[in-house]
Amino acid sequence: MAQTSGLLRDALANAFRSPANLFRGNRKETFWALKDVSLEVQEGEVLGLIGRNGSGKTTLLKILSRITRPTHGWAEIHGRVGSLLEVGTGFHPELTGRENAFLSGAILGMTKQEIARKFDEIVAFAELEKFIETAVKHYSSGMYVRLAFAVAAHLEPEILLVDEVLAVGDIRFQKKCLGKMGDVARAGRTVILVSHQLNQIRRLCNRVLWIDGGAVKREGPTATTVSAYEEEMSASRDDDERAVAGIAQFLRWQLMGENRLEDHALPHEGELAVSFLVRVNQPIHSAQHGIGLYDQERHLIWGNAADSVSLDPGLHEFRYKIAGMPLRPGVYSWRVTLWDGEARIDDWECSPPMKVVTVPVTHYKDEWAGFLNIPSELKIVPVAMNVIGPSPQSRTE
């Protein structure tokens, strides 16, 4: 078919067909919250959904929860679905805790019988025995979320869809929540979990889907997918401000040795071998070299220095053998420097950052886990207390 001056002819034709269109500006573009997303979730799987805000994760959950209808495509769900997209769904401030528990339970999908049967358990989980007959508007925010979560946690659907509400309340209660979720997962329920708390994802999920811009960016086992996501989130900005004094310049770095997963990913604890390539243009005498390893928040994890570094022009490799670097999984950055007294020769924030892909063995919450991923064993032993008063070798003497 001949393509004759497509644009102008069409434009004219349109103008004649509906003159008003000339005056109407551009029609609003359609925004696809999700496009061409296909996935399969097996029974008993715990699937994590990660991605930036606005990437479409919640929309996917909403479609699976039948809250929003898809524009195109279909989904097939085998089993009863419970959706936890919010804490306190259906709660009304004027009703008592008991009344709200029944109401919320009914809205979430439990039958009256079921709620009545589990009522005592729910109240015990929420630790609200004394206040269950008080109107919820008198509850503190902590009590409110405890009750809300307690009701939701006793939902027993075959499939559970959770959006960021995995752990609410104070730390003690959060632990309970995570524990309960762990039970749910172990009981063989299928769970789809959306969370920004990557630690929760790592702890509970066996498979992770990374959604970006409405499409599946990556899919795979938890450890690698989450690490890839973390790396992208902390992608170093283009930094071409390194001192190009011309004397010397670090070019590349990579991990050496058998311990590495890829050139820039470390999967095990144990000896770490890393090398930095530098091009020297002019001879260097007695320079100082520094090295540092930083985490995401620019904390210095490890650092060292060397004096009297002399280099002839040409390419050199700085090869480090570090006895061990038992780090929490995450993204870390190397930094290497060369100084000549007060003059900076080069100071390079190494790119790409180093991914540490290990299995976390410390505290389940990011902010209490610390840097070091060192396993530990706790034994609590009763001790007989029969010493009263200062010991013979008292410090005060």
Partner 1 sequence: MASVTSKPAVAGPIAQRGTSPLVIRIEPPRGWFNLRLKELWDYRELLYFFVWRDVKIRYKQTAIGVLWVILQPLLTMLVFTLFFGKLAKLPSLGLPYQVFYFAAVVPWMYFSYSLVNATNIVVENQRVITKVFFPRLILPISAVLSGLVDFSIGFVVLIIFTLSYGIRPGPTVFLLPLFLLLAILTALGVGLWLSALNALYRDVKYVTPFLTQFWMLASPVAYPSSMVPERYRWIYGLNPMAGVIDGFRWGLTGRGQAPSSVLIASTAMVLLLVFGGLIFFNRMEGSVADRV
Closest to partner 1 by CB, 44 or 292? 44
Q: Least distance (Å) from partner 1 to the CB of residue 189?
A: 14
Q: Where does this chain touch partner 1 (CB under 8 A) — which range of 17-25, 61-69, 196-204, 284-292?
A: 61-69
Q: Answer yes or no whether residue 77 interacts with partner 1 by CB under 8 A.
A: yes
Q: Answer yes or no whether residue 81 interacts with partner 1 by CB under 8 A.
A: yes
Among 95, 265, 273, 277, binds partner 1 (CB under 8 A): 95
Closest to partner 1 by CB, 113 or 391? 113
Closest to partner 1 by CB, 66 or 299? 66
Among 38, 141, 393, 396, binds partner 1 (CB under 8 A): 38
Q: Answer yes or no whether residue 141 interacts with partner 1 by CB under 8 A.
A: no
Q: How far apart are CA 255 and CA 272, in angstroms?
A: 8
Closest to partner 1 by CB, 50 or 309? 50
- Enter the tokens of residue 332: 């870390």
Q: Where does this chain touch partner 1 (CB under 8 A) — which range of 102-110, 178-186, 222-230, 353-361?
A: 102-110
Closest alpha carbon to 278 in 251, 245, 309:
251
Amino acid 299 reads H
- Enter the tokens of residue 216: 């599946």
Look up tokens 């528990």; give the residue: 101
Q: Where does this chain touch partner 1 (CB under 8 A) — which range of 99-107, 201-209, 237-245, 365-373?
A: 99-107
Q: Least distance (Å) from partner 1 to the CB of residue 84?
A: 9
DSSP state of 327: B
Q: Coil, strand, or helix at residue 330?
A: strand
**Could you tell me the maximum CA-CA distance found in the chain, to the nearest angstrom?**
108
Nearby residues of 292 by Cβ (< 8 Å), 6 or more positions away: 300, 302, 303, 334, 335, 336
Q: Answer yes or no whether residue 63 interacts with partner 1 by CB under 8 A.
A: yes
Give the C-alpha distances (Å, rounded to integers) separating 394 from 98, 315, 387, 389, 397. Answer: 60, 62, 13, 10, 6
Q: Least distance (Å) from partner 1 to the CB of residue 304?
A: 51
Among 44, 70, 182, 360, binds partner 1 (CB under 8 A): 70
Give the C-alpha distances (Å, rounded to integers) separating 111 from 105, 117, 156. Answer: 8, 10, 11
